[in-house]
Amino acid sequence: MLELSDLVKTFGNMTAVDHESFKVADGQILGLIGQNGAGKTTTFRMILNFLTPDTGTILWNGQPLTRHDYNEIGYLPEERGLYPKMTIEQQIVYFAELRGKKARVIKPQIDGWLDRFQVKGKKTDKIRDLSKGNQQKVQLIATMIHQPKLMILDEPFSGLDPVNASLLEAGILEMKRQGSAIIFSSHDMANVAAISDHLVMLRGGQVVLNGEVAAIRNHFGRTKLFLQSRLTAAELHQFTGVKKIVQHGERFELTLADPAVGQVIFTAATKDGYIPEFSQQPPSLDEIFRMKAGVSND
C-alpha cells in the first residue's frame, strides 16, 4: 500500500501541493484528476523522489521507500522519454536493466509484449521510425515489463486512438489483477470512470474529492434524467425543479435541482403506459469535475 500523508510542496511563493493525503492499496487503481497546474505531476515527482516534500510523509507498506522499492515502481511520464536511435529491444532492455533486471530474462519476453499491445514494427526497428502511438506503447511496455508493484502513469492515454487506448486499458487492468497498486492521471473522464476503483481530485494543490467512484457520483444525487416519452420540451419546462433541458432528437437530457423531481416526471410521462426510456442517474465524472473545478457546464 502507498500512503501519502499531509504532503506540502512549495516553489517560492507558490504552493503546488497543499496538505495532500490519500492511499492506494495493492490491486487498486486510483485516478488522480485535476486541471493543469492542480498538483498531479508534482505529486508523482514526490512519490518518485524527484522532489522532496516540504512537510508530510510518503510510505510504502508502512515504511519510507527504499532503493529496492524504487526498482519495483513503473513510471510512465506524460512526455515521451525514449531514445530515438535505440531499437525497440534495446530500449525495453535498457529500462528493465535500470530496474535491476537481467537482459537474458527480459529479451525472451519482448515478442509477447509487442504482440499484446499490437506494436506495428519489429523489435529491431529504431524508435524514431515508429508512429507516436507505437512509441507510446513501447514506453508503456518498458514501464510494465519488470512487473512493478507500484505503477505511476501520467496521462497514459494521451494521443492514443480508441483501439490503442483499449489495449492500454487492458494492460493496466492485467497489472491490477496481478496485485499492482496503480495511480494514473487523465483528462479523459471516460477512462477514469471505466477503470478506476478510487478517485482523488486536486484543485489548487488541495484534495477536493477522495473516494470510490460510485460513491462520489452518488453523493451528488441522481440529478440527471434521460427521457423518451410523449412529453414535449415545453411541458418538461413546466415542472418545478427542472434546471436545464437538452434535446437529442426524440431524447431529452434533463438536469434536476432535486432528485425527487424525477418521480413527478415519471408519473406524468407514464400516465398513458409504456415509454421508451426513463433513466435517472448521478452526474457524470466530467460534470462533477467541472462543478468542483468551477467550470461551467454550459
Q: 194 with 64, same domain?
A: yes
Neighbour-count burial of 249, counting CB atoms closer than 10 A to its CB (0-12 exposed, 13-18 middle, 19+ buried): exposed
Relative to beta strand 29-33, strand 55-60 is: unpaired
Res. 264 pLDDT band, cuts 50 70 90: very high
Enumerate the H helices of 145-258 as residue ranges.
162-177, 189-195, 213-219, 233-237
Relative to beta strand 150-154, strand 2-11 is: unpaired
Q: 62 with 180, same domain?
A: yes
Q: 19 with 102, same domain?
A: yes
* Digit-coded pLDDT (tens) for 75-134: 998 887 899 999 999 999 999 999 989 999 999 999 999 999 999 889 999 999 998 888
Res. 163 pLDDT band, cuts 50 70 90: confident
CATH number at residue 91: 3.40.50.300
Q: What is the pLDDT of residue 78?
A: 82
- 3-state SS, one letter per residue, for 252-290: EEEEECCCCHHHHHHHHHCCCCCCCEEEEECCCHHHHHH
Q: 70 with 46, same domain?
A: yes
In terms of average pLDDT, the best of 75-79, 216-220, 235-239 is 235-239
Q: 70 with 239: CB under 8 angstroms? A: no
- On the question of pLDDT at 37 being above 70, the answer is yes
* 295 in a structural domain: no
pLDDT > 70: percent of the chain: 98
The parent domain of residue 260 ranges over 221-281
Lowest mean pLDDT among 79-88, 220-229, 233-242, 258-267: 79-88
Residue linked to cell 497543499? 18
Cα 15-19-20 angle, rounded to 5 deg:
105
Total domains in the chain come to 2
Q: 242 with 209, same domain?
A: no
Q: What is the pLDDT of residue 296?
A: 54
Q: 110 with 131: CB under 8 angstroms? A: no
Q: What is the pLDDT of residue 161?
A: 84
CA distance 206 to 39: 8
CA distance 117 to 115: 5
Relative to beta strand 206-212, strand 198-203 is: antiparallel
CA distance 167 to 158: 13
Q: What is the pLDDT of residue 85?
A: 94
* Digit-coded pLDDT (tens) for 42-62: 999 999 999 999 999 999 999
- This prediction has a pTM of 0.84
Q: 142 with 111, same domain?
A: yes
Q: 8 with 105, same domain?
A: yes
Q: State the chain's mean pLDDT as an integer.
A: 92
- On the question of pLDDT at 294 being above 80, the answer is no
* 176 in a structural domain: yes
Give me the half-sphere count of Cα atoms (radius 13 Å) on the Cβ side of residue 6. 3
Res. 295 pLDDT band, cuts 50 70 90: low
- On the question of pLDDT at 185 being above 80, the answer is yes
- On the question of pLDDT at 297 being above 70, the answer is no
- On the question of pLDDT at 279 being above 70, the answer is yes
CA distance 127 to 86: 6
Which of 181, 200, 215 is where one domain is finished? Answer: 215
Q: 23 with 98, same domain?
A: yes
Strands (DSSP E) contained in the chain are 2-11, 14-24, 29-33, 55-60, 63-64, 73-76, 150-154, 181-185, 198-203, 206-212, 224-228, 242-248, 251-256, 277-281
Lowest mean pLDDT among 4-8, 40-44, 154-158: 154-158
Q: 96 with 242, same domain?
A: no
CB atoms within 10 A of CB 33: 26
- On the question of pLDDT at 267 being above 80, the answer is yes
Which of 215, 230, 255 is where one domain is finished? Answer: 215
- On the question of pLDDT at 298 being above 90, the answer is no
What is the average per-residue pLDDT within 64-79? Answer: 91
Lowest mean pLDDT among 27-31, 142-146, 286-290: 286-290
What is the average per-residue pLDDT within 275-290? Answer: 92
Q: What is the pLDDT of residue 243?
A: 94
Q: 144 with 251, same domain?
A: no
How far the first Cα of the chain sits from its last, in Å, is: 40
Q: 184 with 244, same domain?
A: no
CATH number at residue 245: 3.30.70
Q: 109 with 161, same domain?
A: yes
C-alpha cell at 244: 436545464
* 288 in a structural domain: no
CA distance 4 to 23: 6
Lowest mean pLDDT among 21-35, 45-59, 160-174: 160-174
